Amino acid sequence: MIPDDVQSSIDMIRESARGIVSHGDLTRVRKLRFTDPGFDRKTWDKMCDMGWVALRLPEDMGGVDLGLLPYCALVSEIGRGLLPEPLVPAALAAALLEGDTLTAHLSGDKLVLPAWQDSRDATGPEKPLTVENGKVSATKFYVPVAGGADAFLVIGTYGAALVPADAEGVTVSAEQAQDGTTLAHITFDNTPGTAIDIDPNPALAEAALATAAYLLGLMDGALDMTVAYLKDRVQFGRSIGSFQVLQHMAVDLRLELEVSRASVENAAQLWDRDGPTSETYAAISRAKARASQSALKLTREAIQLHGGIGFTDEHDIGLYLRKAILMAAQFGSADCHRKTYAALKPIEEEA
């Protein structure tokens, strides 16, 4: 049960999101596909003005100091609208920044994006960060919308370093992702950077759960679109939604979604109550694994329920699958988080 004061915060956040998120209208999202940086800076400024990047920060750092559960509710709303703006990566960076850089980041004057992934499938950094004499050397994979960054936060197993995007020794190789945005492979070769002494793991865990929440909203949007199609499409003189086999498929997808929702909300509540512990890290890995797997299943079957038109690029249902493919792998795939969960909590699972 969600406490009344937390539910009130969630309701207000969802209401504020409706000023930016257009449910069912993906026109803006389509226009931004295959552009650089892949998101709208004006929309990003609005999100910063509304304090979304600062939701998890304490008030003495310019934040709102809300719990992880309300933050996940907000990310779920933007996932429903498939927003490409980098809220989750930016919130991760905000948790590790300080001083004037943090102030500029929160206001939208400067966008700092995290570069943390050392291999092609991981839940966190796997290598220590090398910072010698104020110089950074590292190679990072899959940095989203890197073309929009003013600076990168290079993250290691412990500590981080702030590097201007145009610094000497920064090489960005970007490739188009499934959803029409970009993912970059970035090399920092003896690059000037400012070291930050901090443990990044709690912020990375929150980013993983927020990504699971994005996938929840994505699933909500895809399922709503599919149910509306089943009601409207007529064959043999009646709505195809009246066919029992299609009804059963839709119910199965609803169950898939609700199990994922319960897992995400449970992990967020545990984190808000207990903070970073082995149990809460395990709960987050369980939720991310579940949401990643469910989102891919639901969006693929949603396309199947649309029939032939669902396989065309012109129909919006395909945008949900493309975004699910990207987000399911972000901050750790389902397989990767299952391994993490097994390592953190094998005995309790058997019980």
Please provide the average confidence, as pLDDT, over all residues in the chain.
93
Q: Which residues of 99-114 are buried (b: 16+ CB within 10 A; e: fewer)?
A: eebbebbbebebbbbb
Whether the Cβ atoms of residue 93 and residue 112 lie closer than 8 Å to each other: yes
Q: Per the domain annotation, does 241 fall within a domain?
A: yes
What are the helix and strand counts (H, E) for the chain?
12, 10
The CATH number for 325's domain is 1.20.140.10
Residue 290, domain extent? 201-346
Higher pLDDT, 318 or 123: 318
How many C-beta atoms surround the C-beta of residue 350 within 10 A? Answer: 6
* Amino acid 241: pLDDT: 67
**What pLDDT, in 10s, does the model give residues 70-126?**
999 999 999 999 999 999 999 999 999 999 999 999 999 999 999 999 987 788 899
Give the pLDDT band of residue 295 (cuts 50, 70, 90). very high
How many Å apart are CA 318 and CA 302, to the nearest integer?
Answer: 9
Confirm whether 301 is domain-assigned: yes
- Helical (H) or strand (E) element with 91: helix 87-96
Say how far apart CA 331 and CA 292 lie, in whole Å: 11
Contact 218, 79 (CB under 8 A): yes
Burial 238-250 (b: 16+ CB within 10 A, else e): eebbeeeebeebb
The Cβ of residue 22 has, within 10 Å, a number of other Cβ atoms equal to: 15
Q: Tell whether the model's pLDDT for residue 242 goes beyond 70.
A: no
Query: Would you say residue 96 lies in a domain?
Result: no
Instruction: Summarize the confidence of residues 159-187 as an average pLDDT.
Output: 96
Does 168 reside within a domain?
A: no
- The reported pTM is 0.95
Lowest mean pLDDT among 14-18, 52-56, 154-158, 160-164: 14-18
Q: Which residues fall within 8 angstroms of residue 179, CB to CB, at 6 or more apart? A: 33, 82, 84, 319, 322, 323, 325, 326
Question: Residue 214 domain-assigned?
Answer: yes
What are the Cα distances from residue 321, in Å, to 231, 284, 294, 304?
Answer: 21, 23, 11, 11
Domain count of the fold of the chain: 1
To which residue do tokens 């086999």 refer? Answer: 245
Q: Is residue 158 domain-resident? A: no
Report residue 351's pLDDT band, with 50, 70 and 90 as the boundaries.
Answer: very low
Give residue 100's identity as a one-letter amino acid code.
D
User: What's the pLDDT score for residue 240?
Assistant: 72
pLDDT at 42 over 50: yes
DSSP letter string, 221-257? HHHHHHHHHHHH-EETTEEGGGSHHHHHHHHHHHHHH
Distance CA 333, CA 71 (A): 21
- Tens of pLDDT, residue by residue over 141-153, are 999 999 999 999 9
Residue 297 lies in a domain: yes
Integer Cα distance of 202 and 218 in angstroms: 24
Quick check: 243 pLDDT over 60? yes
Identify the helix (H) or strand (E) that includes residue 291.
helix 278-306
The rounded distance, in Å, linking the Cα atoms of 77 and 216 is 9
- pLDDT at position 244 is 78
Residue 160 lies in a domain: no
Q: Distance between CA atoms of 199 and 160, rounded to whole angstroms?
A: 8
What single-letter amino acid sits at 107?
Answer: S
pLDDT digits (tens, 9 = 90+) for 176-203: 999 999 999 999 999 999 999 999 999 9
Please give the Cα distance from 218 to 288 (Å, whole number): 14
Q: What is the pLDDT of residues 200-233, one digit of tens each?
A: 999 999 999 999 999 999 999 999 999 999 987 7
